[in-house]
């Protein structure tokens, strides 16, 4: 899948920033690929890029419009279709991370055909996966897990991969969601894989490698989320992590999209170890990553110190605000320096 950039990021009329996390994630990690954003009336998200029309984007050399919004079930709202058709008529390709295939919508398929443009369904792929085998494979792996969905697992994995490479480790990021695939150029959106093959797809994402190579695997969902725990468990079994990082957002009381109470960090540590021991008996927690965006800096530092003390002095940090060096130090303590 070769998606041409620069990108125009389409945000639709999403109600909040979390619903535009695909677009925001691409901007945070590939801003140089992004020319602007297109928002419909009522949109409450903002990537910080310049607002522009499709014709303005075309004139600035944009090659692909990326549908950078998400929603429960990965549906494409009917009132977004005309914007996608307009982009195709202006000569742009269109990429989407939604569950629905762009080509399954007649108006979009017809516009792509008449303009000779490409449609990229990032959440879907043509790879055939085996069922997971649980066989031990060489290399080392770190998985980001969470107390909820949308708490920073992708950012944590990307920041950890960057920090480990800077420290001299051989490390690579393994994408398991549509935004991660757009950022890295490789991976599988696990929530679009048939359930029986999720753990096998996770094995494919993080294959056997050199003993000193670290694969940093983007997490999905939460073992405690009633909607997404199945994907989370399959990813845990298939990735066989040697270490995991718990990701948390401290202001939530219920899990996103449901009324289920948020689990504690300790509950996530305990259940991840219990379930993860099936394929890696040596699995252990190596740190805690907290999204402190809602806290002032002093409040954030105090909170992280409290979380660390409550969990056996595990390093606790905000990957965006304070970096991942403390957790990389923990890797060096447990597994050795590069």
CATH of the domain at 21: 3.40.50.720
Q: Can you say whether the dihedral through the CA atoms of 180, 186, 187, 192 is positive or negative?
A: positive
pLDDT of residue 187: 86
Count the domains in the chain. 2
Q: 2: burial class by Cβ within 10 Å (0-12, 13-18, 19+)? A: exposed
37 & 73 share domain: yes
> For residue 330, what is the domain's CATH number?
3.40.50.300
222 & 264 share domain: yes
- Do residues 173 and 216 touch, judged by C-beta distance below 8 A? yes
Contacts of 291 (CB under 8 A, 6+ apart): 151, 152, 247, 248, 249, 250, 318, 320
Q: Output phi, psi for 281, to 5 deg.
A: -60, -20
179 & 58 share domain: no
Ramachandran area for residue 211 (φ above 0: left; ψ -120 to 50: alpha; else beta): alpha
* Domain-embedded: residue 270: yes
Give the residue from 225, 221, 250 showing the smallest Cα distance to 236: 221
* Domain-embedded: residue 126: no
* Domain-embedded: residue 131: no
* Domain-embedded: residue 133: no
Pick the last residue of a domain from 93, 121, 149: 121
Range of the domain at 202: 140-335
26 & 171 share domain: no
* Domain-embedded: residue 135: no
The number of residues making up the chain comes to 338
pLDDT of residue 72: 67
Mean pLDDT by 10 residues, the chain (338 residues): 89 93 92 96 96 97 94 83 98 93 97 96 87 97 97 96 97 93 86 94 96 97 97 98 98 94 98 98 98 97 98 97 98 96
* Domain-embedded: residue 271: yes
Pick the last residue of a domain from 121, 152, 170: 121
160 & 296 share domain: yes
Q: Give me 243's structure tokens.
A: 């270490």
98 & 230 share domain: no
295 & 176 share domain: yes
197 & 274 share domain: yes
pLDDT of residue 33: 92
* Domain-embedded: residue 285: yes
Output the pTM of the full model: 0.85
Q: In which residue are the tokens 């419009």 written?
A: 65
pLDDT of residue 226: 96
76 & 164 share domain: no
CB atoms closer than 10 angstroms to residue 336: 8
101 & 242 share domain: no
* Domain-embedded: residue 130: no
Pick the last residue of a domain from 92, 121, 150: 121
109 & 170 share domain: no
110 & 182 share domain: no
Per-residue pLDDT tens over the stretch 100-157: 999 999 999 999 999 999 999 988 877 899 999 999 999 999 999 999 999 999 999 9
Q: Give me 132's structure tokens.
A: 């997971």
């Amino acid at each position: 899948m070769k998606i041409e950039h620069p990108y125009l990021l389409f945000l639709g009329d999403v109600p909040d920033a979390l619903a535009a996390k695909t677009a925001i994630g691409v901007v945070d990690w590939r801003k140089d690929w992004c020319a602007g954003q297109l928002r419909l009336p009522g949109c409450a998200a903002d990537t910080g890029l310049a607002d522009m029309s499709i014709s303005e984007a075309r004139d600035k050399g944009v090659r692909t419009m990326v549908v950078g919004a998400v929603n429960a079930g990965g549906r494409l709202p009917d009132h977004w279709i005309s914007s996608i058709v307009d982009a195709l008529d202006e000569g742009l390709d269109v990429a989407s991370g939604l569950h629905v295939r762009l080509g399954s919508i007649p108006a979009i398929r017809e516009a792509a055909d008449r303009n000779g443009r490409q449609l990229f369904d990032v959440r879907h792929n043509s790879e055939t996966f085996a069922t997971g085998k649980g066989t031990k494979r060489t290399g080392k792996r770190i998985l980001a897990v969470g107390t909820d969905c949308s708490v920073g697992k992708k950012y944590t994995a990307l920041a950890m991969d960057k920090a480990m490479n800077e420290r001299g480790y051989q490390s690579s990021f393994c994408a398991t969601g549509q935004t991660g695939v757009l950022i890295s150029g490789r991976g599988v959106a696990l929530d679009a894989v048939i359930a029986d093959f999720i753990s096998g797809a996770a094995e494919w994402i993080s294959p056997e490698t050199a003993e000193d190579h670290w694969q940093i695997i983007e997490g999905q969902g939460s073992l405690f989320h009633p909607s997404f725990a199945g994907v989370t468990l399959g990813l845990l079994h298939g990735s066989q992590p040697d270490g995991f990082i718990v990701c948390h957002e401290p202001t939530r009381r219920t899990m996103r999209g449901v009324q289920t109470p948020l689990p504690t960090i300790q509950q996530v540590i305990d259940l991840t170890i219990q379930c993860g021991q099936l394929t890696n008996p040596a699995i252990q927690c190596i740190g805690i990553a907290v999204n402190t965006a809602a806290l002032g800096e002093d409040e954030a530092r105090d909170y992280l110190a409290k979380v660390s003390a409550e969990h056996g002095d595990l390093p606790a940090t905000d990957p965006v605000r304070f970096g991942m060096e403390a957790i990389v130090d923990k890797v060096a303590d447990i597994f050795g320096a590069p």
